[in-house]
């Protein structure tokens, strides 16, 4: 495909008008204001009038099968939400339900311009199958919970985590990567955390973990270990591998120093944190230290959508409130967090930029709607005025997955029907 005379967000996160961007296979091979000499090598020519081309979104923290629980556990704080609603529902999950629930999240992700999710859950075989069908990417992890410190050979989650890494890491030509994952500090003993850290090093994979999501979690960790969650994970060697630390709401100054020193990425999940009254991640302080800050939606059970443009706006506004500075959280920073920073959190070094040689993970945003006009600064409009439904094309690895209302890889009617059926079956058994 050749995108013709289209506005783009370039590799420095600045806007450029009237550009040509050429795609061959799964890569970007041409970026210039001048039309290429031979346009025939690109096949389809896409008219860029009234459109903006930008890197696609990388969702840095999610639990895709939990789309089945969207709207199920409302108006509860995190622990009550988990114990009273989510855990009883999850006990009744089964293979087909997870497959269809994951596909529903993949469809919603594609619609809103997300091409890769850092996903943490179980029933990994079924999730991989759904992701493969959808055509998008995933950094998937089988999260481990072993709070009582059962012997590791008796810990099903630990065994399944290792098997998933061996079986699926690098699957689908690298679209699927598998990471090591302790669910959190409060759901595992030290021996298990150390074993997971060793697994990440053994297989040379990344780590995905919940960190300091609530004040209660942080205070109880301090009582148990005389360390914050970040200090404890560092003590256990978990942060020695590429780590994606989800939430990071209750960090200390020392925590931020450790995160910077260890090269940890933080995935902020603003809407979920607000909805569960967990608090606000102090992103401006992370930006000050040049820490890689990505954006996650968390699950659609606690969000309740995967609308990344909505997430970006909330992320930006909360940063301004937290810093008490309306000049903080520039559109360039926010857009980078939703795109390139998410790719880096996933270890996808060749993704997240419109640049020659990079993977063709791209979205087109329609800028002609009344919510996007007039234009004083298109970057401001993108962060504060755009909606997920303004995404009119989603491309992953050079393949168009969604365009102008049409899914290219998914049967959306069947997905909706099957997830509704699975939800009803589960509710009938609780």
79 has a pLDDT exceeding 90? no
* pLDDT the model gives residue 74: 92
Query: What's the pLDDT band for 215 if we cut at 50, 70, 90?
Result: very high
Q: For the domain 2-56+352-404, what is the CATH code?
A: 2.30.40.10
Query: What confidence tier does 77 reach under pLDDT thresholds 50, 70, 90?
Result: confident
CATH 2.30.40.10 domain position(s) in the chain = 2-56+352-404
Within 13 Å of residue 292, how many CA atoms lie on the same side as its CB?
21
Fold of 104-345: TIM Barrel (3.20.20)
Mean pLDDT of all residues belonging to the chain: 97
For 168-207, what is each residue's pLDDT tens digit?
999 999 999 999 999 999 999 999 999 999 999 999 999 9
Task: Provide the pLDDT for residue 363.
Answer: 99
Q: What is the mean pLDDT of residues 137-154?
A: 97
pTM of the predicted model over 0.95: yes
Query: Looking at residue 78, what is its pLDDT?
Result: 82
pLDDT tier at 49, thresholds 50, 70, 90: very high
Summarize pLDDT for 367-407 with one digit per residue, the tens. Answer: 999 999 999 999 999 999 999 999 999 999 999 999 999 99
The pLDDT tens digits for 292-334 are 999 999 999 999 999 999 999 999 999 999 999 999 999 999 9
Tell me, what's the pLDDT at 297?
98
Could you give the percent of the chain with pLDDT greater than 70? 100
Query: What residue ranges of the chain are covered by domains with CATH 3.20.20.140?
Result: 104-345
238: nearest Cα among 266, 202, 200: 200
């Amino acid at each position: 495909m050749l995108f013709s005379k289209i506005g783009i967000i370039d590799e420095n996160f600045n806007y450029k008008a009237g550009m040509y961007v050429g795609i061959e296979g799964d890569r970007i091979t041409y970026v210039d204001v001048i039309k290429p000499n031979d346009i025939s090598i690109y096949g389809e020519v896409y008219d860029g009038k009234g459109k903006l081309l930008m890197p696609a979104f990388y969702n840095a923290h999610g639990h895709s099968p939990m789309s089945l629980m969207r709207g199920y556990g409302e108006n509860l704080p995190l622990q009550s939400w988990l114990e009273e609603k989510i855990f009883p529902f999850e006990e009744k999950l089964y293979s087909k339900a997870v497959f269809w629930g994951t596909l529903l999240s993949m469809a919603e992700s594609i619609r809103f311009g997300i091409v890769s999710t850092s996903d943490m859950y179980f029933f990994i075989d079924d999730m991989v199958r759904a992701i493969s069908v959808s055509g998008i990417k995933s950094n998937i992890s089988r999260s481990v919970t072993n709070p009582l410190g059962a012997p590791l050979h008796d810990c099903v989650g630990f065994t399944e985590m290792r098997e998933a890494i061996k079986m699926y890491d690098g699957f689908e030509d690298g679209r699927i990567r598998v990471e090591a994952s302790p669910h959190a500090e409060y759901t595992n003993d030290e021996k298990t955390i150390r074993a997971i850290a060793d697994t990440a090093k053994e297989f040379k994979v990344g780590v995905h973990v919940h960190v300091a999501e609530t004040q209660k979690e942080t205070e109880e960790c301090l009582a148990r270990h005389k360390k914050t969650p970040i200090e404890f994970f560092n003590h256990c060697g978990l942060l020695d591998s590429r780590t994606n630390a989800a939430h990071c709401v209750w960090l200390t100054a020392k925590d931020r120093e450790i995160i910077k020193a260890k090269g940890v990425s933080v995935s902020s999940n603003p809407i979920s944190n607000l909805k569960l009254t967990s608090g606000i991640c102090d992103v401006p302080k992370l930006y000050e230290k040049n820490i890689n800050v990505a954006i996650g939606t968390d699950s659609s059970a606690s969000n309740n959508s995967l609308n990344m443009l909505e997430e970006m706006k909330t992320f930006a506004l909360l940063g301004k409130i937290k810093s008490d500075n309306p000049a903080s959280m520039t559109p360039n920073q926010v857009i980078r967090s939703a795109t390139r920073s998410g790719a880096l959190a996933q270890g996808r070094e060749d993704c997240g930029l419109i640049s020659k040689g990079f993977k063709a993970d791209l979205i087109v945003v329609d800028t002609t709607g009344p919510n996007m006009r007039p234009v004083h600064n298109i970057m401001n409009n993108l962060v504060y005025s755009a909606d997920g439904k303004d995404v009119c094309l989603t491309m992953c690895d050079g393949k168009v997955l969604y365009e102008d209302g049409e899914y290219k890889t998914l049967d959306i009617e069947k997905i909706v029907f099957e997830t509704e059926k699975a939800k009803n079956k589960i509710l009938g058994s609780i």
